[in-house]
Amino acid sequence: MPTFVDRVVLHAAAGDGGHGCASIHREKYKPLGGPDGGNGGRGGDIRLVVDPGVTTLLDFHFHPHRRATSGRPGQGSNKSGADGEDLVLPVPDGTVVLTPDGDEIVDLVGVGSSYVLAQGGRGGRGNAALASTRRKAPGFAELGEPGESLDAVLELKSVADVALVGYPSAGKSSLVSVLSAAKPKIADYPFTTLVPNLGVAQVGDLPPYTVADVPGLIPGASQGRGLGLEFLRHIERCSVIVHVLDCATLEPDRDPLSDLDTISSELAAYATDLTDRPRLVVLNKIDVPDARDLAELVTPDLRARGLEVFALSTATRQGVRQLSLRLATMVAEYRRLSPVASATRIVLRPRAVDEVEFKVRALGDGFVVTGAKPLRWVRQTDFTNDEAIGYLADRLARLGVEAELAKLGAQPGAEVTIGDVTFDWEPTLSGQSALAQYAADRADESAGVATVGGSGGRRAAEPVMGPRGTDDRLRTSVRLTRAERMARRAGGLVDDDEAEAAFGAALVDADAAEFAGGAATNVSGGRDAGWDDAVWAAGEDGSSDAGTSGGWEDDDDWEDDEDAGDGPSVVWVGPDGREITGTAPGHGWAGGEPVDRNED
C-alpha cells in the first residue's frame, strides 16, 4: 500500500446549474397575475487550496473522482433555487496542476493559495426574469448550464531546502536519518528508496531547513532506466544540491569522480536548469579504511572543480554536525537573496472591448458556430419548447450570427452546428434582410455598379415584415365592431360593409338641422345614419307594444342595453335642445329626441 504519492490524475466535475421555472402567478381576483418563475441556483465549483497539514496526494490516489453539488431548480412565487456548495480539495504546498497533455495550468505555492479547477454551471433564468415589455408572459424558462468536467494531473514538487542526489545505496537515506528525526527505510540493496523522504533538520541557533532524499539515479536515467527522472521534480525548488558519493563501492568501474560526472550529466538532461543552484559534495562511508583513503585521494580534484567537500560517516556520525552547520548557513543565505514566496495571485483578465464573441466557419456543406455566448445559449435552451427556440433565434440574430452566415453564403435550410446541436437554419426577419442585402451587393458587384455607403445601385429587397412575436390569433378575432353593434341594436344595418359605409358618411351640420319629434339626432347636430327612424317613431305616441316593429320588448331589454359597456350611450333631448331626465319612449315621456354621445 503506497504511503507517498506525488502524481495523480484527478477527474473533476463541477455542479450543474439549476433549471429556471416557468410559472404564472395564480391568486383570487388576479386572473392575470403575470410570470413568477424563479431562477435556478448556481452549481458548485471545485477549488484546490494549499493546506500545510497535507504532505501527499495519497487521498486523490484512492478517490480520483470528485464532483461538486448542483444548484436547485427555481420554483413559483419568484423562489430562486439554492446554490450548490463548492467542493474544496486540500493539496500539499508545491502542487502543480497540469493538463493531460502536460501543459501547466497553475503552480500552487504558499499556504492559502487556491485555484478554481472546475467552474460550476450558471442557473437558468425563470420566466419572471425573461419577461419584458414585448414578452410579458414567457411560456418558457432557461435550462441550467452544465458544470465543467475535466481531467487534471496533479504533481507534487516538494518544497525542500536541501536535495540529496546520488547512486543507489550511496547512503542518502542514512544521511537523512542522522540529519533529522526522519526514519526512512534503510537496507543493503539498491533502490531501497522508491519515494522521496523528507526530514526537518536544525542545528545551533540557525533556522531549521528541510532535507529531501531523492531515489537513486543510474546511467541512462534520462532515457527511463531505473526509476528514471520521475522524482527529480522534487529538487526543482531546492536551495542546495548535495552530491552523495559512495567511497566504499565494490564495483570496479565506479569511483567518486566518475559517479559525480554521471549524476551531473543526468541532471543536465532534465528539463529544468539546475546549474545555478549551490552545490557541495559529501564523501560518505569513510568509516571503512579503504574508503577513507579514497576520500583523501579525490578531495583535491573535487576542490579543484570549485566544490566544497565534506567527508563523513553516517554510521559513526563523524563530520555530520559540520555538514549540518554548513547546510543551514547556505540555506539561510539563499533565502535572504531569494524573493519572498507569496501565495498565487489571482489575475483578473477583463474581456476586451473589441473581442470577437463568436466565429462562423464553413465545414463541408454546413457551418459551425463557435464562441462562449452561443455555446452557453444553446446549452440553456429547451428545444422541446417552440417559444424557447424562437427566443434563441432572436438572441443569435442580435449577436450577428445570421448576418455572418449570410455573408458566408449560407442559404435557408443549411446545417448549422453550435456545440452538440445541429439544426437547419431558417433565417429570421433580420436574416432575410441580410440575405437580400447580400444578394443585392453581389448583384451590384457583378454588374459593376459603384455604391457609396451601401446605397447607390441597391436592388429592391423584399419588404420587411412586422416584428417577431405577433399573434395570429388576434387576426381571427370574432369580437363585434362598433358598427356591427350599432346596427344590431338599431335593428337596421347588419352587413359589415354597409355599416362601415354608413358610419363613414358625413354628418349633417348642427346649425342647419331642425329638431323633429322622434328623430335620432347626434350630439354634433347631424343625423346618424345607423339609426332607424321607425324604431323611435313607435315611441312618440307612448306605445310600448312588444309587437311594434323595432320597439323595446320590455324593461329588461332596456336595462340590459343601458348596462352594456360597449354599446352607445343615449340621452333624451327635448324640443328646446336641453337634456331631459326621463324614461324610454312609451314609458311616460314623448316628444324628445334620443342623442348618441359616442361619436366616431
Segments of the chain scoring below 70 in pLDDT: 1-4, 159, 185-195, 216, 220-231, 271-273, 275, 340-344, 346, 429-478, 492-600
Same domain, 368 and 243: no
In a domain, 69, yes or no: yes
Work out how many domains the chain is built from and give that number: 4
Looking at the structure, do residues 19 and 147 belong to the same domain, yes or no? yes
Containing H/E element for 98? strand 95-98
Domain boundary among 156, 190, 207: 156
Shared domain check, 512 and 491: yes
Q: Which of 422, 447, 472 is the last residue of a domain?
A: 447
* Cell numbers describing residue 363: 465545414
**pTM (two decimals):** 0.61
Give which of 74, 50, 54 is closest to 380, Cα–Cα. 74
197 in Cβ contact with 212 (< 8 Å): yes
Grid cell at residue 268:
543536465
CATH classification at residue 441: 3.30.300.350
Coil, helix or strand at residue 280? strand
Q: Which residues contact 586 (CB under 8 A, 6 or more apart)?
A: 538, 539, 542, 543, 544, 551, 552
Is 221 in the same domain as 169? yes
Whether 462 is in a domain gets the answer no
Last residue of a domain, one of 128, 156, 184: 156
Please give the pLDDT value at position 444: 55
Whose grid coordinates read 580534484? 301
**Is the residue at 468 inside a domain?**
no
**Residue 212 cell numbers, joined:** 529531501
pLDDT at position 3 is 55
Q: How do residues 218-243 score in pLDDT, each as one tens digit?
A: 776 656 565 556 667 777 778 888 88
Same domain, 188 and 288: yes
Statement to judge: residues 442 and 326 lie in one domain: no
Neighbours of 224 (CB within 10 A): 10
Same domain, 502 and 573: yes
Nearest CA among 286, 284, 268 for reference residue 276: 268
Residues 6+ apart with CB under 8 A from 254: 167, 246
Residue 398 φ/ψ, nearest 5 degrees? -65, -30
Could you tell me which of 44, 42, 121, 142 has the C-alpha nearest to residue 82? 42
Q: Which residue has the cell 486540500?
A: 90
Q: How much is the pLDDT for 580?
A: 52
| Spatial contact of 592 and 577, defined as CB atoms under 8 Å apart | no
Q: Are residues 396 and 333 in the same domain?
A: no
Put the strands of the sheet holding 570-573 in their side by side order. 521-522, 593-596, 570-573, 579-580
What does DSSP assign to residue 43? P
Nearest to 119 by CA among 97, 142, 95, 86: 86
The answer to the question of residue 353 being in a domain is no
pLDDT for 577: 55
Return the sign of the alpha-carbon dihedral for residues 341, 343, 344, 348.
Answer: negative
Concatenated DSSP letters of 190-253: TT---S-EEEEE--TTSPPEEEEEPPP--TTGGGT-TTTTTTGGGGTT-SEEEEEEETT---TT
Q: Is residue 301 part of a domain?
A: yes
The CATH number given to whatever domain includes residue 78 is: 2.70.210.12
Shared domain for 423 and 302, answered yes or no, is: no
Q: How many CA atoms lie within 13 A of 277 on its CB side?
A: 23
Q: Is 95 exposed, middle or buried (0-12, 13-18, 19+ CB in 10 A)?
A: buried
Domain range for 505? 482-596
- Specify the pLDDT at position 331: 87
Of 472, 396, 453, 455, nearest in space to 429 by CA = 396
Q: Which three cell numbers stand for residue 94?
A: 508545491
The residue among 537, 593, 540, 551 whose CA lies nearest residue 570 is: 593
How far apart (Å, rounded) are the C-alpha atoms in residues 518 and 224? 118
Are 427 and 367 in contact by the 8 Å Cβ rule? The answer is no
Q: In terms of domains, do 186 and 103 share one?
A: no
Distance CA 20, CA 35 (A): 12
Q: Is residue 455 part of a domain?
A: no
Are 108 and 180 in the same domain?
no
Which residues are CB-contacts of 98 (< 8 A; sequence separation ≥ 6)? 104, 105, 152, 153, 154, 155
188 shares a domain with 300: yes
